[in-house]
Amino acid sequence: MFVIAGTAMLLAAVLVPTADDLSNARWQLNKALAMEAHALERIDRHEQYLASIEGADPDVAVALAGAQLNLVPTGMDVLAAPGRPADLDLFASIEPAPPAFAPRNRVGSTLERMVMDPSLRLWVIAGSAILLLTGLLPASRPGA
**Residue span of the structural domain in which 83 resides:** 2-98+109-136
Indicate whether 117 belongs to any domain: yes
pLDDT, tens only, 30-86: 999 999 999 999 999 888 888 877 877 777 777 766 666 666 666 666 555 455 454
Structural domain contains residue 68: yes
- DSSP, collapsed to helix, strand or coil, labels residue 106 as coil
Closest CA to 14 of 6, 2, 3: 6
Q: Is residue 10 part of a domain?
A: yes
pTM of the model: 0.66
Number of domains present in the structure of the chain:
1
Contact between 125 and 8 (Cβ < 8 Å)? no
pLDDT tens column, 108-120 = 888 898 999 989 9
Residue 143 maps to a domain: no
Q: Stretch 17-23: mean pLDDT, rounded?
A: 92
Q: Is residue 103 part of a domain?
A: no
Residue 122 domain-assigned (yes or no)? yes
